[in-house]
């Protein structure tokens, strides 16, 4: 059953026991100070049979946060919390990557230091976008994102330094890899996209300029982890969070080529159709495969059978699963036995406690 999907693969310098990747999943269950806690340790350890776990996105600074109760990677306490998670996953023989996150304009002053405005490449509001906050009266709520301010050119080295320090902390915590989150309409994709970046300096205008911050963030992670322990997530043609990039294919292929030249471990492609974007074409997949020499991971609502076919056809080397991993801690075992999958409870996706988080039954 699913011979390819369940076969080992090496990504960068890390050997994976199978090609079933746990996708990054925001669950908003970090403890006080946005520190990973015992509940998070249990959740990840339950899913350690994945070939690779990519953690929920972890903000690299207070400025990079867009949702309440998401774990950070910029304080000693957060680093120590993640270290417990890594140790638990490793104790079960698993491999784990930390996803490094800056949300940019997908935020709100209630989450920012001293109630400041969120930051972005340009002062442009993300239409129809929400942030998850705790209101002054203590009530959690989804609220519209606020108007961001444009980052000053003098602030850019500081943003890159946040990625570097986060990678440094990830390395100390024992993570096998880090994944730079350059997808889903967050800061790095805001810089990439033609409609959200109206800058006229070295970070705007040409495709190469719009890609600059993503490459600097990746280089910062490489400086700490080594290229063979760095992955990147991109989402060409993503259309939520106010993103509409008229050069999506060209940007993805340019980045893939640059990443390949750096020798990074993997490229993780979040497919756009779940957010209302188009299906990725086989022609585009072939182009991506021809320019990127590392491990290619696709994520896009795949069944095990569809994942097996994708790998057999040579388009990708591994497939990431999101919601199936929420409801099936033993997803790999279920795939190997052709067993039925538990259905996830949407009402418990974000926030809360063990219910809908660590209480799904295994076989």
CB 77 within 8 A of CB 35: yes
Q: How many Å apart are CA 350 and CA 277, to the nearest integer?
A: 24
**Residues comprising the chain, all counted:** 363
Chain mean position to CA 358: 21
Q: How far apart are CA 121 and CA 99, in angstroms?
A: 21
Compute the distance between CA of residue 108 and CA of residue 130 in angstroms, rounded to an integer. Answer: 9
Distance CA 188, CA 192 (A): 6
pTM of the model: 0.97
pLDDT at 276: 74
Helix (H) or strand (E) holding 248: helix 248-262
Q: Over the chain (363 residues), what is each successive 10-residue block's mean pLDDT?
A: 96 98 98 98 98 98 98 98 98 98 98 97 97 95 97 98 98 98 98 98 98 98 98 96 96 98 98 82 96 98 97 97 98 97 97 97 96
268 pairs with which residues across the strands?
Answer: 233, 297
Q: Is 186 a catalytic residue?
A: yes
Structure-token match 């270290």, residue found: 83
**Which residue among the candidates 163, 186, 203, 350 is catalytic per the annotation?**
186
| Torsions phi, psi for 272 (to 5 deg) | -85, -15
Of 3.30.565.10, 3.20.20.70, 3.65.10.10, 3.40.50.10490, the CATH number of 9-348 is 3.20.20.70
Pairing between β-strand 14-16 and β-strand 96-101 as defined by DSSP bridges: unpaired
Please list the helix, strand and coil fractions of the chain in percent, rounded to the nearest 5, in that order. 35, 20, 45
Domain assignments of the chain as residue spans, ordered by start: 9-348
Query: Apex CA 154: angle with CA 62 and CA 72, to 5°?
Result: 15
Burial class (CB in 10 A: 0-12, 13-18, 19+), 173: buried
What pLDDT score does 273 carry? 78
Half-sphere exposure of 64 (CA within 13 A, CB side): 27
* Gap between the Cα atoms of 120 and 334, Å rounded: 42
In angstroms, rounded to a whole number, what is the distance separating the alpha carbons of residues 59 and 146?
A: 18
Query: What's phi and psi for 271, nearest 5 deg?
Result: -75, 145
What is the per-residue DSSP string for 171-227?
Answer: HHHT-SEEEEEE-TTSHHHHHHSTTT----STTSSSHHHHHHHHHHHHHHHHHHH-G
Phi first, then psi: what are they for 232, rounded to 5°? -135, 140
How many CB atoms neighbour CB 31 within 10 A?
Answer: 16
């Amino acid at each position: 059953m699913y011979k390819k999907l369940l076969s080992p693969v090496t990504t960068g310098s890390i050997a994976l026991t199978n090609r079933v990747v746990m996708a990054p999943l925001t669950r908003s269950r970090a403890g006080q100070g946005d520190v990973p806690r015992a509940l998070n340790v249990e959740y990840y350890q339950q899913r350690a049979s994945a070939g690779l776990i990519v953690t929920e996105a972890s903000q690299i600074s207070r400025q990079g946060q867009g949702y309440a109760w998401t774990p950070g990677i910029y304080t000693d306490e957060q680093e120590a919390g993640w270290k417990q998670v890594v140790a638990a996953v490793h104790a079960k023989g698993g491999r784990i990557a930390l996803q490094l996150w800056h949300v940019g304009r997908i935020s709100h002053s209630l989450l920012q230091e001293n109630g400041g405005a969120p930051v972005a490449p340009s002062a442009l509001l993300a239409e129809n976008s929400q942030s998850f906050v705790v209101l002054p009266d203590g009530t959690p709520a989804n609220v519209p994102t606020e108007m961001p301010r444009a980052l000053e050119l003098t602030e850019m080295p500081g943003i890159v330094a946040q990625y570097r320090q986060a990678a440094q902390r990830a390395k100390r915590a024992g993570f096998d890899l880090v994944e730079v989150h350059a997808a889903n309409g967050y800061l790095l994709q805001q810089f990439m996209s033609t409609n959200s970046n109206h800058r006229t300096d070295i970070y705007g205008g040409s495709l190469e300029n719009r890609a600059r911050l993503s490459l600097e963030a990746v280089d910062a992670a490489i400086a700490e982890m080594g290229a063979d322990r760095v992955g990147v997530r991109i989402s060409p043609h993503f259309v939520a969070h106010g993103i509409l990039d008229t050069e999506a294919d060209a940007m993805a292929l340019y980045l893939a080529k640059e990443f390949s030249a750096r020798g990074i471990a993997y490229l993780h492609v979040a497919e756009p159709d779940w957010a209302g974007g188009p299906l990725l074409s086989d022609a585009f997949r072939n182009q991506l495969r021809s320019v990127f020499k590392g491990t290619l991971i696709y994520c896009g609502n795949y069944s095990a059978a569809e994942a097996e076919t994708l790998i057999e056809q040579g388009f990708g080397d591994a497939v990431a699963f999101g919601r199936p991993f929420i409801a099936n801690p033993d997803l790999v075992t279920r795939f190997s036995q052709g067993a039925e999958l538990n259905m996830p409870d949407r009402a418990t996706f974000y926030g809360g406690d063990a219910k809908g988080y660590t209480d799904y039954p295994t076989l």
